[in-house]
Amino acid sequence: MDDREILTWHTYGTAVRELAQSVADSGFAPDIVLGIARGGLIPAGSVAYALDCKNLFTMNVEFYTGVGTTRDEPTLLPPFLDLAELNDLSVLVVDDVADSGKTLELVARVCSEHAGEVRSAVIYEKPRTILAPDYAWRRTDKWINFPWSSEPVITSRTGVLDA
């Protein structure tokens, strides 16, 4: 397990509060918090609560297919967000990790075509990311065990663990 960063539920609580505090301290008050599914959904909800933002949206992106394995490029999956809902609003895009940064870059680019301002926040940033998030709680080059995805699935639909 030395090759992994372990995030417990307890530490997660501290992480998202500190991440939200960084956003607040910067003066950015998003109109919308947008979580990237699946890994960004739990952090997005937590950050939205901490920032007292009731507008919580999601975009579903598939990129990882297993531990360290990905598609060539991230792909947006339905249902699709009505991007007109973002017109001229400030959006905070939240994900669990900026690893390659490709997922974050895709969502930020799509949102920026409509939103007035787009910023991004992640719990973890990796050194190889192509898009540095505006806010990151911690930096690591290790694979991360998140508390919501560390246990085996109850019903396997894909046969892939830890993706």
User: How many angstroms separate the Cα of 14 from the Cα of each of 10, 137, 145, 158?
Assistant: 7, 10, 16, 32
Q: What are the structural domain ranges in the chain?
A: 4-145
Say how far apart CA 35 and CA 15 lie, in whole Å. 16
pTM: 0.90
Task: Please say whether the beta carbons of 23 and 51 come within 8 A.
Answer: yes
Confidence at residue 157, expressed as pLDDT on a 0 to 100 scale: 73
Residue segments in the chain with a per-residue pLDDT below the cut of 70: 1, 64-69, 158-163
Say how far apart CA 42 and CA 36 lie, in whole Å. 10
Task: Please say whether the beta carbons of 36 and 95 come within 8 A.
Answer: yes
CATH T-level fold of 4-145: Rossmann fold (3.40.50)
